Chain A
């Protein structure tokens, strides 16, 4: 089945040690999103890519970076994780095209739960 895959499912890192989370998709969707979710709260959008165009949310800390080397893969880099960055990180994709209204749902991966020691 076509899907969104996040690796690893669980990641433990040390305070201040860089960490990279990965997301891959077989849906061939052109939009990819990264969300942070804490303690069953609503997901908080960090940034998204529309094709290769990167869109950062205004309140996303500089500590969070992203790369999208191709359509299928997207990475979340946390340069110096702090205790407050412990959370579930969700990747999502959506198909969007010029002239098509944005009524398609987002498809989510199962997330990576990040713990900071």
Chain B
């Protein structure tokens, strides 16, 4: 069975500082990994994904994530945080087999960026 862990319920960072939101996963085989962001009273927005290839994946709004197979991690990063980045972030994993295979989400991490 696949699983995702987001060990931090909340991450606080000052605007302009780098941010990291952590994610570790467990899945058989090579995973497909995703990050989504959710703003209040909105649906989830896709940020980026790792399928294969370069371990550093760049996504929307200046976010990037680094896939580390040995540590089974897929941490989300941004060099300089903005107040507007404050939102709920979900990491998700999907096994590579099955054309309708399901996403497993982490429990979410609330990012709070302050001035």
The total of chain B residues at the interface (CB under 8 A) is 27
Please report the C-alpha to C-alpha distance between residue A45 and residue B94 in the assembled complex, in whole angstroms. 13
A103, B108: Cβ atoms closer than 8 Å = no
Q: How far is the CB of B1 from chain A (nearest CB, A)?
A: 13
Please report the C-alpha to C-alpha distance between residue A109 and residue B46 in the assembled complex, in whole angstroms. 11
B41, A106: Cβ atoms closer than 8 Å = no
B105, A43: Cβ atoms closer than 8 Å = yes
Please report the C-alpha to C-alpha distance between residue A40 and residue B38 in the assembled complex, in whole angstroms. 9
Chain A at the B interface: SS class: loop
Q: How far is the CB of B74 from chain A (nearest CB, A)?
A: 14
Residues of B that sit less than 8 Å from A by CB:
32, 34, 36, 41-46, 49, 51, 88, 90, 94, 96-103, 105-108, 110
Q: Beyond the given A42-B105, A45-B102, A45-B103, could you list 11 further A-B residue pairs with CB under 8 A, ordered by the A residue number?
A: A4-B43, A41-B107, A42-B106, A48-B100, A100-B99, A102-B97, A102-B98, A103-B32, A103-B94, A103-B96, A107-B46
